[in-house]
Every structure is written in C-alpha cells, then in structure tokens.
Amino acid sequence: MTFSGVHVVSGFAGSQSQRYTSQAILGKISWSEAPASGVTSTNAAPASSDIAGDPVFRINAAADSWVSVGPTPNATSGTRFLVRSGADCDVYAAPGDKFQWIAA
C-alpha cells in the first residue's frame, strides 16, 4: 500500500535515559496516527515530565500540507505552517495539544 496523506508520531524530545549526555532526536513514543484531511487527531500530546522530557510531534506528509497544532487546531483558517512533501518535521507541543492538516 502506498503512503498517502499525513502521518504524525507523538513522543518526547531526547533520550529517556542519560538525557543529559545524549541528544536523541525523538525519544519515547506515545502514539502514532494518520488522521484524514481536515480531521483533528483523536490523540493529544502527552504531559511533560522530568524523566521523559517535552512532548513533540514528528510529522511526515505525502504531499505539501498545511498543519496546525494546538488545543483546537484549525489547518484551514487558524495558525498553521507548511510541511513539505517527504520531509520529517519536528514540532514541540504543549501537553494536550492536538494536530490537524489539509493539503496545500
């Protein structure tokens, strides 16, 4: 099956162990989802913690896409940014933030 749409992974920035001596890009994974265009993710960014770190979304799009992240994201008319086709985009999220996208 070919990849279509957008896929988002939620996790934490950095390594869960030895986080002060290493620089992992994406540490502990919390969830993964591929919501339909214009549909808000069912999952939300996890809470920050001293052990796991700060939550991040890693976004990968099959085509250029407008993306919105927040408590009530709106990729059509809200605050949004462009994710280019085929490139991973890492975004820090606040605990409880959700994700939405539309085609650019």
With respect to residue 97, please indicate whether it lies within any of the assigned structural domains. yes
- 38 token code pair: 């214009």
CA distance 84 to 67: 10
DSSP single-letter state for residue 89: E
Whether the full predicted model's pTM is greater than 0.85, yes or no, is no
The total of structural domains in the chain comes to: 1
CA angle 21, 53, 67 (to 5 degrees): 120
Which residue range is the domain that position 95 belongs to? 6-103
Query: pLDDT tens digit string along 34-69?
Result: 999 999 999 999 998 766 678 899 999 999 999 999
Residue 1 confidence (pLDDT): 45
Is 2's pLDDT higher than 80? Answer: no
With respect to residue 1, please indicate whether it lies within any of the assigned structural domains. no
With respect to residue 46, please indicate whether it lies within any of the assigned structural domains. yes
Is 21's pLDDT higher than 60? Answer: no
Residue 12 confidence (pLDDT): 78
Is 28's pLDDT higher than 50? Answer: yes
